[in-house]
Structure 1
């Protein structure tokens, strides 16, 4: 009888939808070009190409290469000849002077190095800008561009001819997307100047590159070589101070990978985020699932029987229409997914998966979106949760995911697939995962549940103090830390604990007593009201009558 009642209840819910999920996330706010396909190396004037050795891969050094030097000296020719000694073909062509010559150069070679010891003249700068499309095709094809000296700054989004950096800016190639680049960077005066420039380009990231220092953008990550550092700057506003960080050559003694590596997409998102209304809101929407069900798993394997329950809530093996969403930084995850295969072995007739790193595809590709239109259940996989934000936040796919709940369906996920279900996205740093608050990605959760922040692998990775720090900063949020092999099943505002571990609820509406836990930890069978922030049932407190 129970197996009949659950699908029946499901169909009754699906038949009378009550719109409850709010879709107010904006596609147009966020970057669409999340990474570049090729590589770009930039630096100010260099006396020796050897500084580039660690930034130019061995495979790039073997490709057909053109080195444009202005002026061309024997010393610089020798230096680059040594750097590209294994090149299949190395040439030193004359400086291209027209758009046709620039486009020909970019078509003929796989690696193009262009060094100008002097600032670019207006005519050649104009020709370079006119060849913008050819430069982008060159990078999109996976090639390497090395822009040095006077050529370096024009590869950014915009650059300034005047010494004081005053607007208007001249449009650059935007090969370093949404960046303003200053070479020969030197101290606080140059930093102040860069901040002045950023006041006119509020969505941009400022980069100050020291003398004798080069940086490479590969994909979305930046690292440096040389004796100096690269300084990254975001303009402050009335609620956020300026953000400034420097990276240097990797040092084995440093335990923080962010000292030598920077994720440009994260910084671009933060620049945009600073122009939007404050987040999280001082008074978030109610943490309640008006229709449907959420299943939020803390990683480390699902509690016994939970996947069967997911299938039943989605309509049962005969009627469920399930969609798996893997969490991957890779463009291609293959043609099969283990989760889909396990559903089919369980008897589910209609099961598939979707995956993309193309926000435009997630927003407008009807074939891609089709499985979500009548899905009754969605499961988000584990990995690094910022991937979900990059691919789906604010897209048509995101809207359709919320509509699954409005139809009375079920959304589930484990590890990264747990955190992404909240509107606030916890632990979404693209470099490492030790920080629970990730600037640029806090406004990245898919928002099936408002007013909470969800962390996973909680006790196993000793993340208690991380959640304490988060709710101290954002007391309006209810912190939820879920152990491995443990889950909460959320209907309306009631979260039921399932599994072998505990779920920890951090409520800063309650006073914190020194020396005592600043959370409530509930085991399986317990229930917590997310809206009232109250324990409904605590199975650790059994009455004398319990057997």
Structure 2
């Protein structure tokens, strides 16, 4: 599967990776914006808390979405691969307007959902208009290539990050989360240097990338998004770097976008947010 498999589909639903620790009570701006995309008061949303080991994660998000006025919210706690064949839960997924994947451990998502009817349904339905959001681990799992784990630090190193197959809703971006808070620039750069065709998107906490069907990313939230564009990469030492050695990357473009800023992954064009007074 390549990046071109994901473009030019005007029917596709929104894809919304969130950097984690999104505001949930005072002013749940990101969750409200997701509900609006799903249809507001008429919307139905399924919560998938698989990444979390906490029993109250699913019910807590159900309560949050109900407080935001959705018509119905339901938790689908897929705990094992057998759960992913349950006809009653698959029926729910076939009918909802939006799906929200919680935080936790992204490998629990990939090892539990990967290759199952749930993963296939999420991809198929998203291509037909289902809106899918994920926070923290849920955000990492959204892409075709998922950052499974890695080291902190600003400088890329040869063995700094481990990739794994993700859900595959998009092949045009590679997502990392808790970005500024956990100093993850180096591991995103390392991941991109393996095959620099995708755009790197580093999400600060309480910050989301609302990816439209035309592949335009809009920033929503209190933090920033770091966009790493490797399309003009001139040279890289990744092929010759030894274990733990730093990697040289020449020609990388980097943008910092705050709320209201946009980036199109096809044209590689970034636009700053309008001044606050004009928004």
TM-score by length of 1: 0.42
For residues 509-520 of structure 1, the aligned pairs below 5 Å read: 509-511=231-233, 518-520=253-255
Query: What's the CA shift string for 1:434-483, capped at 9, x where partnerless?
Result: 586325xx12x111111321001111111111111111122122211111
* Alignment correspondent of 1:321: 44
Determine helix, strand or coil for the equivalent of 2:175. strand
CA distance in 1, matches of 2:160, 2:260: 28
Determine helix, strand or coil for the equivalent of 1:438. strand
Which of 381, 400, 403 does residue 124 from structure 2 map onto?
Answer: 403
Which of 82, 92, 106 does residue 371 from structure 1 map onto?
Answer: 92
Please provide the CA RMSD for this pair: 3.0
1:538 equivalenced with 2:260 (yes/no): no
* Alignment correspondent of 2:259: 524
1:357 Cα deviation after fit: 2.8
- Bigger relative CO (Cα 8 Å, ≥ 6 apart): 2
- Flag the 1:534–1:339 CA change in 2: closer, same or farther, 3 A: same
Determine helix, strand or coil for the equivalent of 1:333. coil
Q: Which moved more, 1:380-389 or 1:334-343?
A: 334-343
Q: Is the 8 A contact 2:50 2:78 kept in 1?
A: no
CA distance in 2, matches of 1:310, 1:335: 18
Q: Is the 8 A contact 1:454 1:479 kept in 2?
A: yes
- Flag the 1:336–1:388 CA change in 2: closer, same or farther, 3 A: closer
* Alignment correspondent of 1:412: 133
1:336 Cα deviation after fit: 5.9
Determine helix, strand or coil for the equivalent of 2:161. coil
CA distance in 2, matches of 1:336, 1:466: 30
CA distance in 2, matches of 1:335, 1:371: 19
CA distance in 2, matches of 1:394, 1:378: 18
Q: How many residues align?
A: 253
Determine helix, strand or coil for the equivalent of 1:522. strand
* Alignment correspondent of 1:497: 219
* Alignment correspondent of 1:438: 162
CA distance in 1, matches of 2:211, 2:57: 32
* Alignment correspondent of 1:338: 60
1:404 Cα deviation after fit: 3.3
Which of 385, 390, 403 does residue 111 from structure 2 map onto?
Answer: 390
CA distance in 2, matches of 1:451, 1:336: 29
1:452 equivalenced with 2:209 (yes/no): no
Structure 1 residues not aligned, in runs of 5+: 1-280
CA distance in 1, matches of 2:174, 2:39: 29
Structure 2 residues not aligned, in runs of 5+: 153-158, 235-247
Q: Is the 8 A contact 1:424 1:453 kept in 2?
A: yes
When Rg is computed on C-alpha atoms for both structures, the one with the higher figure is 1
Q: Is the 8 A contact 1:329 1:357 kept in 2?
A: no
* Alignment correspondent of 1:421: 142
